[in-house]
Amino acid sequence: MKFNMIAACAALAAGWGASAHGQISGFGGRAGTVAPEAPPVFGLHVIDERAPDPYVIAVRSGGAYAARRSGFPRGCYGVVTEAPTVELQVDAGRPALTIFTAGDADTTLAVMNPGGAWRCDDDGARRGSNAALSYADPEAGTWKVWVGDFSDRESDAVLVVSEAAPYARPLGAPNARAQAAPAQVLTLAPGFTPDPASLEVQTGYGFQLGSMDVYGEPQTGRCSGWTGETPTAEITWTGEGGALVFMADGEADVVMDVIAPSGEPVCSDDMGPVDERAQVVFSDAEPGAYQVFVGTYSRFDRATNARLNVSQTPFPVSEDPW
């Protein structure tokens, strides 16, 4: 995508002449000088053994300056601030360091390690248009991070720091659009009543299930749809075996991802050719907490009203399109 845009930019610049004021996505912003020693816009964060993993920082992507015209290395894209977005004080002995962005914006990353070496990324997080950089045996010291915006704007975003690769969901990391909406919690024992137990919920959105290495849907081999970063609900099952069934329906075409206590993810889209509800069945349910993510099939469906139903009996598939 970027190479085509470079060609388009060159062609348009030739047509406009030296006085052109047009702006091409990814190449806007004015020229400046990168200022690594300036105070970070969103502060200094200590990444040590006491820090949670993932460590999540709410930031704003973008800025007034074009990375490619402000002293950043070749291959750095987007508009940025002159000062670092954040600084990370990383301790010694970490096996890996992954820095990635999450949000709706088309974000970019530029990172300077403690030794002064640069790396940049655009869409490397495999989550649509988010960015990611991973380091093995990262050196201790101060890491300077710029979160840019390829779409030449400023947007709310989150910066996530973890030892995990950016392709797996960092459980517990907040959805930037739903930080004030904690997961609903429910504890169920065998023979619970009423059956089904129902929770009124909101679908999450913004993160592509198919890009999270969460597999299990037999028809496609991958999860479809979009969900939030935090669980919609957490259901604790106190039984030793027995069936446990999760079904979600709502205003949109819903999808669901359920992570069992063992960590096994199972996802679901449609129950049938015309039944847009999502159902996951555990025929011999292990005891413990089940993390349930309810999302939508379409990335353009924002948070919508939905219902999560939990039963000990599978729900029948509807074959009536009306």
What are the structure tokens assigned to 115, written together? 């030794």
Do residue 229 and residue 302 come from a single domain?
yes
pLDDT tens digits for 189-225? 999 999 999 999 988 766 666 544 333 333 333 567 8
DSSP string, 149-186: ETTSS-EEEEEEEESS-TTS--TTPPPTT-TT-PPEEE
158, 174 in Cβ contact below 8 A? yes
pLDDT band at 75 (very low <50, low <70, confident <90, very high): confident
- Nearest Cα to 261, choosing from 284, 278, 277? 284
Do residue 31 and residue 158 come from a single domain?
yes
Within a domain: 263: yes
Within a domain: 217: yes
pLDDT of residue 193: 95
Do residue 69 and residue 141 come from a single domain?
yes
73, 108 in Cβ contact below 8 A? no
pLDDT of residue 207: 64
240 pLDDT higher than 70: yes
Do residue 155 and residue 30 come from a single domain?
yes
Look up the CATH number of the domain holding residue 234. 2.60.120.380
More confident residue, 85 or 262: 85
Within a domain: 202: yes
Count of structural domains within the chain = 2
pLDDT tens digits for 242-297? 999 999 998 888 999 888 888 777 888 888 888 889 999 999 999 999 989 898 88
What are the structure tokens assigned to 191, written together? 């023979």
CB count, 10 Å around CB of 208? 18
Within a domain: 168: no
Within a domain: 70: yes
- Nearest Cα to 73, choosing from 25, 118, 132? 118
Computed over every residue of the chain, the mean pLDDT equals 78
Domain boundary among 97, 127, 162: 162
Structural domain range at position 284:
184-311
Within a domain: 18: no
Q: Which helix (H) or strand (E) element contains residue 260?
A: none
Do residue 153 and residue 234 come from a single domain?
no
More confident residue, 18 or 63: 63
Q: Mean of the pLDDT values across residues 50-75? A: 89
Within a domain: 171: no
